[in-house]
Structure 1
Amino acid sequence: MDILSHSEFVELIPGLPSELGLECLTRLPHSAHRVALRVCTQWRNLLQSDEFYSHRKKTGHTKKLACLIQAHEQPLHSEVEKQTGSTPPSYDITVFDSESMSWDRIDSVPEYSSGLPLFCQLTSSEGKLVVMGGWDPASYEPLTAVFVYDFRTNVWRRGKDMPEKRSFFATGSGQGLIYVAGGHDENKNALKTAWAYDPKSDEWTVLAPMSQERDECEGVVVNGEFWVVSGYATERQGNFDGSAEVLNIGSGQWRRVEGVWEAGRCPRSCVDIRENGEVVDPGLRIGVCSVGVGSRNLVTGSEYEGGPYGFYLVDNEEGQNRKMRKISNVPDGFSGFVQSGCCVEI
């Protein structure tokens, strides 16, 4: 729909034709939107509309950022893996801009102001962040809660709960939907079920199940396909499979792909898939998280057990050798362990 067909969006900037006024606001950087929202009701309604977001995306004026679930302080990797013994670390959402090399945090989820649920999943869709699942930080009980953060309004809202309790599941986003598959239930039984969540309608839709159970699998959407990599069945605890299952989003059908991952190795937050379907190992071994941000990947982790925790950028353009460049000027307060992350386009 043409934005200017709305009768409320006329003479957006006094003295300029509506088309020029729209183009001026389209080029306004997102960092200035908080101020622009307070200029007038017409600007606020425009900047917060789905049509304006689609227009900015179509004309190439959106920006891709890495959003990270990050610990306040950097814990030992064993604490992150096991969450036993001492008090677990507290997590917030960090926003990293790989162009300006700037770091920031967004407001806490109102129901979890002291820290996000442990092991919750973070995805994005159409300029919104979606936080789902995880364990209650106090009781360690698995949660079905869903929270949606809209960068256009800078406000969290409670979404419709997940249909099933599950932990350590695969997620991915594409075509306005969030995809969920695998993991395990509250009784530690591995799952092969899958669902899709629409943040706009706030509804869940059941998908065809995978061919096998996949606990602790990793997910990503590439070229209209939802890849669920590795994982293991209930009776094969910790014995990670080397295969993947791939959902064709258009047809809703799964296919199995063999030999895409190193059998026996956990894929959690380590999977990077090229557009040709090649699964790439980012090169680190401990506490790894890889987030694709446009033509780059932000990769975090350590090269060996007990090694220094680092932040790296990897170029993904055709012909690049994928050499990791360490980010040496990470500001104080943003060097903590990264549990997981995603790219958001705002």
Structure 2
Amino acid sequence: MDDISNLINFNELIPGLPSDLGLECLTRLPHSAHRLALRVCTHWRSLLQSDAFFRHRKKTGRTHKVTCLVQAREQQQPHQKPTGCVQPCYGITVFDPEAMAWDRVDPVPDYPFGLPLFCQVASCDGSLVLMGGWDPATYEPLTAVFVYDFRTSEWRRGRDMPEKRSFFAIGSGMGRVYVAGGHDENKNALATAWAYDPRGDEWALLGRMGRERDECEGVVVGGEFWVVSGYGTERQGMFDGSVEVLDLGSGQWRVVEGVWEAGRCPRSCVGIGKDGKVVNWRGLDPGLRVGVCGVRVGSSFVLTGSEYEGAPHGFYLMEMEQGQNRNLRKITVPDGFSGFVQSGCCVEI
């Protein structure tokens, strides 16, 4: 698209400095200062919100990675269901493991009091993509897609998912978000898969997987989208040990057997550890037995979970060094950020 030089050559970014030095100064601004910097002038706003500036920051190593978590919000009124059941409200928490800083993303305008239940998130080119889930008031499955741009700090509505599906696998790579499996509104397990382009706001149908895979988990490994485990319609709850692998370049699927422990649910607890092998974060530590979720952020993993049902929710960091897993380090969480984590992803901003 536009080159970075086209955005800096016609105006001084910083009075008295050559344009290239002004650009380097703005490139070094921490992302936490961008919201204020956008107010300085229209030229700064145009630059900081451009694709070219994001690419320049990435090329010069000035971006950094944060964890976006779909987390139960504390000290909020929970949803009251028609049945009388109480359902916690969820929002997007942002954790920066480098600065050890916690923050929240503004609510989705369509859901100011809590995200759709069991919605899925993935990242793409500095944006957070949220899709699917159930309406928090009616439990109706949704096809809605929302995209949060960290450059503008705003949500926008994307094109709806082509099919209703729940508990599907999701992952991102090569500028696309990939979804596969799950089940439809009639609880039929699915083998279909789609790719979403957030920039063009378009969906493309992919080839079918070889098997139906409900309650599967997605992870991108290099140039491949792995759909881990799941089960067919007639095998409710009988999780498969195989992985369906999509080559993002060729669009071809293949099945790899014996990758996952058969009978174990993979939801939110699949990781890629040393030697590129699939690992199960559940049970890695006594505090990671129930409600486990893991997100890779650069060379680190952010892990959450509890020791037993109803126990306090703990947060851990684990770093990778020369391909080897290091010991877990429990981290202190500020008030209001210790709620249950449903799922999460890494976003480069």
Shorter-chain TM-score tier: over 0.9
* In 2, Cα distance between equivalents of 1:129 and 1:9: 32
Q: Which residue of 1 aligns with 2:70?
A: 69
1:303-314 pair list within 5 angstroms: 303-314=307-318
Whichever residue aligns with residue 120 of structure 2, its letter is Q
1:307-346 pair list within 5 angstroms: 307-318=311-322, 320-327=324-331, 329-346=332-349
* Alpha-carbon distance change, 53 to 135 in structure 1, aligned in 2, over 3 angstroms: same
* Alpha-carbon distance change, 97 to 208 in structure 1, aligned in 2, over 3 angstroms: same
Whichever residue aligns with residue 290 of structure 2, its letter is I
1:96-107 pair list within 5 angstroms: 96-107=95-106
* In 1, Cα distance between equivalents of 2:219 and 2:8: 40
* In 1, Cα distance between equivalents of 2:20 and 2:193: 44
Does the alignment pair 1:288 with 2:296?
A: no
1:231-246 pair list within 5 angstroms: 231-246=230-245
Tell me if the contact between 1:74 and 1:336 (Cα under 8 Å) persists in the aligned partners: no
* Alpha-carbon distance change, 34 to 319 in structure 1, aligned in 2, over 3 angstroms: same
Which TM-score applies when normalising by structure 1?
Answer: 0.94
Q: Which residue of 2 aligns with 1:207?
A: 206
Q: Which residue of 1 aligns with 2:171?
A: 172
* In 1, Cα distance between equivalents of 2:48 and 2:199: 17
* Alpha-carbon distance change, 70 to 9 in structure 1, aligned in 2, over 3 angstroms: farther
Q: Which residue of 1 aligns with 2:254?
A: 255
* Alpha-carbon distance change, 271 to 281 in structure 1, aligned in 2, over 3 angstroms: same
When the two structures are aligned, how many residues end up with a matched partner? 339
* In 1, Cα distance between equivalents of 2:178 and 2:348: 18
Q: Which residue of 1 aligns with 2:3?
A: 2
Whichever residue aligns with residue 85 of structure 2, its letter is S
Q: Which residue of 1 aligns with 2:24?
A: 23
Tell me if the contact between 2:9 and 2:19 (Cα under 8 Å) persists in the aligned partners: no
Higher mean alpha-carbon deviation, 229-238 vs 273-282, is at 273-282
How much identity, in percent, do the aligned residues show?
73
Query: C-alpha displacement at 1:308, in angstroms?
Result: 3.4
Tell me if the contact between 2:7 and 2:47 (Cα under 8 Å) persists in the aligned partners: no
* Alpha-carbon distance change, 248 to 12 in structure 1, aligned in 2, over 3 angstroms: same
Tell me if the contact between 1:117 and 1:133 (Cα under 8 Å) persists in the aligned partners: yes
* In 2, Cα distance between equivalents of 1:267 and 1:57: 32
Whichever residue aligns with residue 296 of structure 2, its letter is G
1:5-84 pair list within 5 angstroms: 5-6=6-7, 9-73=10-74
Higher mean alpha-carbon deviation, 227-236 vs 253-262, is at 253-262
Structure 2, unaligned stretches of length 5 or more? none
Whichever residue aligns with residue 333 of structure 1, its letter is G
Query: C-alpha displacement at 1:63, in angstroms?
Result: 1.2
Residues 210-250 of structure 1, C-alpha deviation per residue, up to 9 Å, x if partnerless? 00000000001110110100000000000000110110000
Residues 144-196 of structure 1, C-alpha deviation per residue, up to 9 Å, x if partnerless? 00001101001111000000000000000111110000000000000010000
Tell me if the contact between 2:69 and 2:343 (Cα under 8 Å) persists in the aligned partners: yes
Tell me if the contact between 2:8 and 2:19 (Cα under 8 Å) persists in the aligned partners: no
Q: Which residue of 2 aligns with 1:86?
A: 85
Residues 27-56 of structure 1, C-alpha deviation per residue, up to 9 Å, x if partnerless? 111111111111111110000000000110
* Alpha-carbon distance change, 101 to 2 in structure 1, aligned in 2, over 3 angstroms: same
* In 2, Cα distance between equivalents of 1:41 and 1:8: 15
Query: C-alpha displacement at 1:105, in angstroms?
Result: 0.5
* In 2, Cα distance between equivalents of 1:278 and 1:120: 27
Whichever residue aligns with residue 123 of structure 1, its letter is A
* In 2, Cα distance between equivalents of 1:8 and 1:116: 43
Structure 1, unaligned stretches of length 5 or more? none
Q: Which residue of 2 aligns with 1:273?
A: 272
Residues 293-321 of structure 1, C-alpha deviation per residue, up to 9 Å, x if partnerless? 11100000123444432100011221544
Query: C-alpha displacement at 1:74, in angstroms?
Result: 9.5
